[in-house]
């Protein structure tokens, strides 16, 4: 690891091969926490490259729990976190809406690292098990077309890294590559990031990881979700081509809201918001979910435009399809717990 720390100290980027070798050292039992912290800070201070993100994500995926069977056309809509917006769990709620629109979703997520409530926190509060093994996740994904992949369960080698990240208390390259480490061979993906300067680099990383199509988004106010408060910046990946574009709230057919209108709370608060949205309650929370689910459906290619995606997202909620996806997960988890007892 020393040669890579020296290279980072001189503000030199690592090649894809160097990053993959460094990542193997990073997960070695012999590495110290000081070396881990120095490596993370060296990458952050220099600035992350596409090759570094792809290399680290590839090593993590190789070390992850294997999810062998997944439906055709499966996607994820995991964001990076780290935007400091204190919003409710937008992408988690939108995942059920996307699945309710007929698109399989392997929802990758974690507990809160830099925000108040992570996807795992809110789903656990709702009764979704975080302790399912790979065969159960595959069964749920094939039958329900949405499963939750709890990052610490999927990535056991990250335990020491998580401790260092929690001690640092600032976003690192692991925040950026979190959405890229889904062990399922995704066809398409929607990635929200708090870093507007990383949109094209992350879209290219999606391409290098084998995604056919995807969108990276940085919302108004530098949220890691699309927002109805103002201009959203995005990059569409389509068969290897990168297409930057912007989206204004008035183009969506949805009302405008300030970002303060979509602030969430603790796991209990956000669980209630999620359920309210899936049960059809109108307002800023629902419309923000419709926007993000609509973008996800467009990213997948099921909709030809974001506006069409929003229409399909609306049908997913109003038909009860989105809620039924969550209810399946809760019921399956309850039955699984009873089997363990």
Q: Does residue 45 lie within any of the structural domains?
A: no
| 336 among annotated binding-site residues | no
Mean pLDDT of the residues in the chain: 94
69 is in an annotated binding site: no
Per-residue pLDDT, averaged over 79-99, amounts to 93
Q: Is residue 12 a part of any domain in this protein?
A: no
Where would I find the beta strands (DSSP E) of the chain? 75-76, 105-109, 146-150, 188-192, 213-218, 232-238, 241-247
Does residue 92 have a known ligand-binding role?
Answer: yes
Q: Binding residue per annotation — 282?
A: no
111 is in an annotated binding site: yes
220 assigned to a ligand binding site = no
- Residue 125's CATH number: 3.40.1030.10
289 has binding-site annotation: no
- Res 112 pLDDT > 60: yes
Confidence check: pLDDT of 70 > 90: yes
Gap between the Cα atoms of 52 and 45, Å rounded: 14
- Is 324 annotated as ligand-binding? no
Q: Does the annotation flag 102 for ligand binding?
A: no
**Is residue 189 domain-resident?**
yes
Range of the domain at 127: 75-154+184-329
102: tokens are 């007929």
| 211 annotated ligand-binding residue | no
1: in domain: no
Assigned domain for 280 exists = yes
- DSSP letter for 260, please: G
Residue 69 lies in a domain: no
The predicted-structure confidence for 229-276, as pLDDT tens digits, reads as follows 999 999 999 999 999 999 999 999 999 999 999 999 999 999 999 999
Strand arrangement, sheet containing 188-192? 146-150, 105-109, 75-76, 188-192, 213-218, 232-238, 241-247
81 annotated as belonging to a binding site for a ligand: no
123: in domain: yes
pLDDT beyond 90 at 169: no
> Does the annotation list 232 as a binding residue?
no
| 338, pLDDT greater than 60 | no
Residue 334 falls within a domain, yes or no?
Answer: no
Is 265 labelled a binding residue?
no
Query: The whole model's pTM is what?
Result: 0.94
Contact 211, 299 (CB under 8 A): no
Position 114 scores a pLDDT of 54
Q: Rounded mean pLDDT of 292-312?
A: 98
pLDDT at 340: 42
pLDDT for 157 equals 86
Question: Structural domain tally of the chain?
Answer: 1
Residue 87 assigned to a binding site: yes
pLDDT score of 84: 86
Give the mean pLDDT of 102-124.
87
Tell whether 317 is in a known binding site: no
Task: Determine whether the annotation assigns residue 82 to a binding site.
Answer: yes
Is residue 114 marked as binding? yes
Whether 100 has a binding-site annotation, put simply, is no
């Amino acid at each position: 690891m020393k040669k890579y720390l020296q290279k980072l100290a001189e503000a030199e980027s690592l090649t894809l091969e160097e990053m993959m070798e460094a990542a193997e050292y990073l997960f070695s039992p012999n590495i110290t926490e000081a070396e881990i912290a120095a490596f993370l800070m060296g990458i952050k201070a220099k600035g992350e490259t596409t090759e570094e993100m792809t290399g680290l994500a590839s090593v993590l995926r190789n070390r992850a729990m294997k999810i062998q069977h997944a439906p055709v056309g499966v996607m994820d809509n995991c964001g990076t976190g780290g935007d400091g917006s204190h919003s409710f769990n937008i992408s988690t709620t939108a995942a059920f809406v996307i699945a309710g629109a007929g698109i399989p979703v392997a929802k990758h997520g974690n507990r809160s690292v830099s925000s108040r409530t992570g996807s795992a926190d809110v789903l656990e509060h709702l009764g979704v098990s975080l302790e399912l093994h790979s065969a159960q996740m595959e069964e749920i994904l094939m039958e329900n077309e949405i499963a939750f992949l709890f990052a610490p369960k999927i990535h056991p080698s990250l335990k020491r890294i998580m401790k260092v990240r929690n001690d640092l208390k600032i976003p690192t390259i692991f925040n950026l590559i979190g959405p890229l480490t889904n062990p399922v061979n995704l066809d398409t993906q929607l990635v929200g990031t708090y870093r507007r300067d990383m949109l094209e680099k992350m879209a290219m990383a999606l391409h290098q990881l084998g995604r056919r199509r995807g969108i990276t988004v940085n919302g108004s106010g530098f949220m890691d979700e699309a927002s109805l408060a103002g201009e959203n910046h995005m990059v569409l990946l389509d068969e290897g081509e990168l297409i930057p574009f912007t989206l204004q709230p008035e183009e969506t057919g949805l009302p405008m809201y300030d970002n303060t209108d979509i602030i969430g709370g603790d796991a209990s608060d956000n669980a209630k918001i999620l359920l309210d949205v899936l049960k059809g309650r109108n307002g800023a929370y629902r419309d923000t979910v419709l926007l993000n689910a609509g973008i996800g459906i467009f990213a997948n290619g099921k909709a030809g435009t974001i506006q069409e995606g929003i229409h399909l997202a609306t049908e997913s909620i109003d038909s009860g399809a989105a809620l039924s996806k969550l209810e399946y997960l809760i019921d399956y988890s309850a039955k699984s717990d009873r089997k363990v007892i």
